[in-house]
Amino acid sequence: MGKVNYAAIDIGSNAVRLLIKSVDSEAAQEKRFKKAMLLRVPLRLGFDVFSIGELSEKKADKLLRLMKAYRQMMKIYEVDDYRACATSAMRDARNGKETIKKIEKETGIRIEIIDGQEEARMIYNNHIECLEDRSGNYMYVDVGGGSTEINLLTNGELVCSMSYNIGTVRMLNNAVREGTWQQMEDDLKRVTDGITSVNIIGSGGNINKLYRLAEKKDKKLQRLPVSSLQTLYDELQPMTPEERIEAYSLKQDRADVIVPAAEIFLKIAETVHAEYIYVPVIGLSDGIIDNLYARALEKEEQKVR
């Protein structure tokens, strides 16, 4: 296969990312994937969808323009294969499918609206490789703008995948349905019943930022004690987004969502009695590229057969 360039487009409820990686199948495992470029544009689609139920004309137009720009970037980087996935906001948008059809017609980019289960599976797949201890029990948690994806891993095996419409942008819009928190809590208690010592693997831009901001953390193992996250949350919560920008040098599109994100992680940690949150810097975009590479390898093997 030699060197191949893959791109992933992740259309989230808060930001839209383009990740391009160069993959050399002949290189050693740890040097196989090289990040060529990452672009993140905070379109904040969820703020429309979770308040008015659809994308406004202005947001839909911005998304179309952004896809045109991403298409040009993929040409410049000579991308061989790509996948574009849209998550919670587009799942909920009344005009989601219509917007996607228009984008494909005008840019040639095919966008798939993936469900919470597939999103959860794709994100978690390569996280297990980051863990030194694969024999433990881990709750893999990805907090997005529109939904939270949770996987339970025991001894490196996926036990179950769950997805809840609890997300940072959804919370800021008071759009989390009554009973959803309780449902999540009940499910977590049920699946961890009889399991001792569960820790969390955290994913998403917010937990990465919270990890960097926290004073007490274990850098060697890339983990954040839940007590440190609680301390940080207690400092951030009473502040206005403007005060957070000033005090912590946060970007505007991070300053509001970071608090509900911390709240979701703390709630899950409390429910499963986790002491630590491991924070490997990997997200849906990486999962998409891993997936593309795995599919290409499969095709190669079939040719050989």
Residue 284 has what pLDDT?
82
In the chain, % of residues over pLDDT 90: 67
Residue 222, exposed/middle/buried by CB under 10 A (0-12, 13-18, 19+)?
Answer: middle
271 close to 129: Cβ distance less than 8 angstroms? no
Domain 127-281, second-level architecture = 2-Layer Sandwich (3.30)
> pTM to 2 decimals?
0.84
Highest mean pLDDT among 12-26, 247-261, 288-302: 247-261
Nearest one of 147, 138, 185, 140 to 166, comparing CA atoms: 147
| pLDDT tens by residue, 191-247 | 999 988 899 989 888 999 999 999 888 878 789 999 999 999 999 999 999 999 999
- Which one has a higher pLDDT value, 298 or 21? 21
Residue 155 has what pLDDT?
81
165 vs 173, 176, 262, 301, CA distance in Å? 13, 7, 16, 39
For 55-86, the DSSP string reads --HHHHHHHHHHHHHHHHHHHHTT-SEEEEEE
- Other residues' Cβ atoms within 10 Å of the Cβ of residue 212: 11
Q: Which helix (H) or strand (E) holds 272?
A: helix 258-272
The 10 Å CB-count burial string (b at 16+, else e) for 116-134 is bebbbbbbbbbbbeebeee
In the chain, % of residues over pLDDT 70: 94
Q: What is the average pLDDT across 93-112?
A: 97
Q: Where in the chain is the domain with CATH 3.30.420.150?
A: 127-281
Q: What is the average pLDDT across 14-38?
A: 89
Q: In CATH, what class is 3-115?
A: alpha beta
Residue 129 has what pLDDT?
54
| pLDDT tens by residue, 127-184 | 555 555 557 888 989 899 999 999 898 887 888 889 999 999 999 999 999 999 999 9
Residue 126 has what pLDDT?
56
Q: What is the average pLDDT across 32-54?
A: 94
Output the average pLDDT for the chain. 91
Q: Where in the chain is the domain with CATH 3.30.420.40?
A: 3-115
The answer on pLDDT for 117 being more than 80 is: no
Residue 203 has what pLDDT?
85
Q: What is the average pLDDT across 98-104?
A: 97
Distance CA 145, CA 256 (A): 11
| Cα 292 off chain centre by | 17
